Amino acid sequence: MGFPTRVQLIKRQASEQWYINFPSAVAQALEFQKGESVEWIIEDKSLLALRRHAAPAPALKKTLPSSTTSSTSGSTASRPSKSASPAAPKPSR
């Protein structure tokens, strides 16, 4: 989802300053801190990227599946142990 923003220009006698403000929702979602250091990267004339020098740790940690789980199903259900009692035999008719 995009957030439209206007580019602002302040002209002074000896200089110009250009501003692009972040909407509050974007800054809060990215957990920016006051005074945080960032770097602008020009990919091309239609894409300007912002790189953070020190981003906060993710709230949810990604974990890799252990080697004991099945790689085909992707589930982490436990397998029955060998010491479990076998199922009772079905009565014959």
User: In the chain, where are the structural domains located?
Assistant: 7-52
pTM for this predicted structure: 0.51
Question: Please, what sign has the CA dihedral across residues 64, 49, 47, 5?
Answer: positive
| DSSP classification of residue 12 | -
Instruction: List, for residues 32-75, the tens digit of each pLDDT value.
Output: 999 999 999 999 999 999 999 888 887 777 777 776 555 555 54
Cα 50 to chain centroid, rounded: 15
Beta bridge partners of 44: 47
Q: Which of 41, 22, 40 is nearest to 30 (CA)?
A: 22
- Cα atoms in the 13 Å half-sphere on the side-chain side of 69: 11
Between 29 and 81, the more confident residue is 29
* Sole residue written with tokens 């252990």: 66
